[in-house]
């Protein structure tokens, strides 16, 4: 399997433009992270994808987005191709971070088959998570999003979620107590029952990585199976995220991203898993 370049011919994120003007972009959505409590929005989701603009290829992070408060016209899902306008996120030093105008989002297409997705994703796949972390250690503004094909997936750890911190719970409570402009009742964001981590080696010489799973679907599966007991639910999570997505006949790739407050800390934001 060929290894493509992460950000195009120069393998460097395109710098944010000067100024705060809105810009049009087309994006293939590849990442929809699990929601987290927000002071301003109650809850927010980080979305990321690959820009399909011919003059601005590369990764892009779109934040903040509150999916539960989007109307049907502006909602979208993974592997949708969307057009929207966005402006550089000046409060986030990471080069790929943009602030979307959610009212401008229009879905143009959905790439249903792995074959259609592969044409866009494969050129961005890398095989060294170690190199990505080292680059950020040298320059915090280096790539903060990547697609990593692991040399070997060692396993998955699933443990009970500790629940929201007192600060996060305060954010949720404050949001729920505010009146909803639509006249309905706001629903508090519930913490998932379990959290997970992938353990893997990115190359034969890698000492190993343990990265938290922040995929929206990891949390959504727990809610779908909310009536299962803990042991059954853990088995289902392992079955989906290890046995199925990381099976030997799958070409498993992890979408990873770092944290603004801790640039060297990367998490798994989603999994790309077509058949080999």
Kindly report the pTM of this predicted structure: 0.92
Q: How far apart are CA 68 and CA 236, in angstroms?
A: 25
pLDDT of residue 29: 98
Whether 128 and 200 map to the same domain: the answer is yes
- Mean pLDDT over residues 70-81, rounded? 87
| Same domain flag for 106 and 133 | no
Judge if 111 and 174 occupy the same domain: no
Of 36-45, 81-90, 108-117, 262-271, the poorest mean pLDDT is in 36-45
C-alpha 222/C-alpha 111 separation (Å) is 25
- Report d(CA 135, CA 148) in Å as an integer: 15
pLDDT tier, 182 (very low <50, low <70, confident <90, very high otherwise): low
CB 200 within 8 A of CB 153: yes
Q: What pLDDT is stored for residue 17 in this prediction?
A: 87
Judge whether 11 lies within some domain.
no
List, for residues 185-220, the tens digit of each pLDDT value: 788 999 999 999 999 999 999 999 999 999 999 999
With a CB cutoff of 8 Å and minimum separation 6, the contacts of 113 are: none
Does pLDDT of 48 surpass 70? yes
d(CA 253, CA 258): 16
- 161-177 confidence digits (pLDDT tens): 999 999 999 999 998 88
Q: Give the domain-ending residue among 59, 92, 122.
A: 122
The total number of structural domains in the chain stands at: 2
Instruction: Tell whether the model's pLDDT for residue 9 goes beyond 70.
Output: no
Task: Give me the long-range contacts of 3-8 (CB less than 8 A, separation at least 24).
Answer: 3/125, 3/126, 3/127, 3/149, 4/122, 4/123, 4/124, 4/125, 5/123, 5/124, 6/59, 6/124, 6/126, 6/143, 6/146, 6/147, 7/57, 7/58, 7/59, 7/124, 7/143, 8/57, 8/58
Domain that holds residue 111: 25-122
Position 1 confidence tier, pLDDT thresholds 50, 70, 90? very low
In this structure, is residue 77 part of a structural domain?
Answer: yes
In a domain, 5, yes or no: no
- pLDDT at res. 213: 98
At 105, which CATH number? 2.40.50
Domain end residue (candidates: 93, 122, 151): 122
pLDDT value at residue 11: 61
Least confident of 14-18, 157-161, 242-246: 14-18
Instruction: Name the residue among 26, 34, 19 with its Cα closest to residue 50.
Output: 26
In a domain, residue 7? The reply is no
Same domain for 40 and 50, yes or no, is yes
48-57, 190-199, 216-225, 250-259: range with lowest mean pLDDT:
48-57
Give the C-alpha separation, 267 to 197, whole Å. Answer: 8
- The residue length of the chain stands at 276
Q: Is the pLDDT of residue 181 over 70?
A: no
Same domain? 107 vs 132: no
Residue 86 resides in a domain: yes
Where does a domain end: 122, 151, 179?
Answer: 122
Q: What is the mean pLDDT of residues 37-48?
A: 90
Residues 155, 28: Cα–Cα separation, whole Å: 29
Under a CB-based contact definition with an 8 Å cutoff, are residues 102 and 74 in contact? yes
Among positive and negative, which fits the CA dihedral 82, 25, 124, 45? negative
């Amino acid at each position: 399997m060929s290894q493509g370049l992460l950000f195009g011919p120069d393998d460097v994120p395109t710098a944010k433009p000067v100024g705060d003007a809105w810009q049009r972009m087309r994006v293939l959505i590849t990442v929809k992270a699990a929601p987290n409590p927000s002071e301003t929005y109650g809850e927010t989701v980080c979305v990321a994808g690959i820009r399909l603009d011919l003059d601005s290829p590369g990764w892009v992070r779109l934040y903040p987005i509150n999916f539960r408060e989007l109307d049907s016209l502006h909602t979208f899902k993974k592997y949708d191709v969307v057009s929207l306008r966005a402006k550089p996120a000046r409060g986030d030093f990471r080069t790929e971070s943009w602030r979307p105008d959610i009212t401008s989002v229009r879905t143009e297409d959905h790439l249903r088959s792995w074959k259609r997705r592969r044409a866009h994703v494969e050129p961005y796949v890398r095989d060294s998570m170690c190199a990505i972390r080292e680059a950020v250690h040298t320059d915090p503004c280096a790539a903060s999003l990547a697609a990593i094909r692991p040399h070997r997936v060692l396993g998955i750890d699933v443990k009970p979620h500790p629940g929201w911190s007192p600060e996060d719970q305060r954010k949720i409570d404050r949001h729920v107590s505010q009146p909803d402009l639509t006249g309905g009742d706001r629903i508090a964001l519930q913490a998932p029952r379990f959290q997970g981590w992938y353990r893997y080696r990115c190359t034969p010489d890698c000492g190993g990585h343990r990265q938290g799973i922040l995929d929206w679907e990891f949390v959504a599966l727990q809610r779908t199976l909310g009536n299962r007991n803990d042991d059954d639910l853990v088995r289902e999570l392992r079955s989906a995220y290890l046995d199925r997505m990381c099976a030997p006949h799958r070409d498993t790739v992890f979408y990873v991203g770092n944290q603004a407050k801790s640039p060297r800390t990367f998490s798994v934001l989603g999994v790309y898993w077509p058949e080999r």
